Amino acid sequence: MMDGASLANSTTSCPCSKPYPEDIIYLPVAPQLVARTRFSPPPDKKRCMPVEEAMEMLTAEMRKNEGKIAMAAIVGPGDPLATPELTLAMARAVKSRFPDLSLGLLTLGIGCSRLAGDLAEAGIDYVEVKVEGVRTEILEKLFAWIRPGAKTLKLADAASLLLKEQRDGVSALKFRKVTVGILTTLYPGYNIDHVAKISSEMVELGADSISLVPYCPEAGAEVNLESPSPETIKNAKTKASQYLPVVPPRLHHPHRTLPAEQTESIVPKPSNERPNVAVVSSNGIEIDLHLGHAIQFLIYGPRQDGLACLIETRAAPEPGSGPLRWQQTAEILKDCFVLLTASAGEKPRSQLAQAGLKILITEDNIEGMVDVLYGGGKKKGNK
Span 129-145, average pLDDT? 96
pLDDT of residue 299: 96
According to DSSP, the β-strands at 179-186 and 296-302 are unpaired
Per the CB < 8 A criterion, the answer to whether 295 and 288 are in contact is: no
Q: 276-373, superfamily in CATH?
A: Dinitrogenase iron-molybdenum cofactor biosynthesis domain (3.30.420.130)
Higher pLDDT, 11 or 377: 377
pLDDT of 125 strictly over 80: yes
Per the CB < 8 A criterion, the answer to whether 161 and 148 are in contact is: yes
Crossing angle of helices 84-97 and 346-354, in 10° steps, is 40
Per the CB < 8 A criterion, the answer to whether 108 and 79 are in contact is: yes
4-262: in CATH 3.30.70.260: no
pLDDT of residue 20: 52
262: DSSP letter:
G
Higher pLDDT, 318 or 74: 74
Chain segment 1-58, per-residue pLDDT in tens: 444 444 444 444 455 544 456 689 999 988 888 999 999 887 766 567 788 888 888 9
Provide the residue ranges of all domains of the chain, joining segments of one domain with +. 4-262, 276-373
Q: By mean pLDDT, which of 95-109, 178-192, 212-226, 277-291 is the weakest?
A: 212-226
In single-letter form, the type of residue at position 237 comes to K
Long-range CB contacts (within 8 A, 24+) of 130-133: 130/106, 130/183, 130/184, 130/185, 131/166, 131/182, 131/183, 131/184, 131/198, 131/202, 132/37, 132/184, 132/185, 132/187, 132/191, 133/190, 133/191, 133/194, 133/198
* Phi, psi for residue 180 in degrees, rounded to 5: -120, 125
pLDDT of 190 strictly over 90: yes
Closest among 374, 344, 377 to 50, alpha carbons compared: 344
Tell me the CB-side half-sphere exposure of residue 44, using CA atoms within 13 A: 15
pLDDT of 291 strictly over 80: yes
Crossing angle of helices 346-354 and 323-332, in 10° steps, is 50
**pLDDT bucket at 253, cuts 50 / 70 / 90:** low
Most confident of 5-14, 127-136, 344-353, 357-366: 127-136
**pLDDT bucket at 381, cuts 50 / 70 / 90:** very low
pLDDT, the chain, mean: 86
Span 278-303, average pLDDT? 92
Model confidence, pTM = 0.72
Per the CB < 8 A criterion, the answer to whether 281 and 298 are in contact is: yes
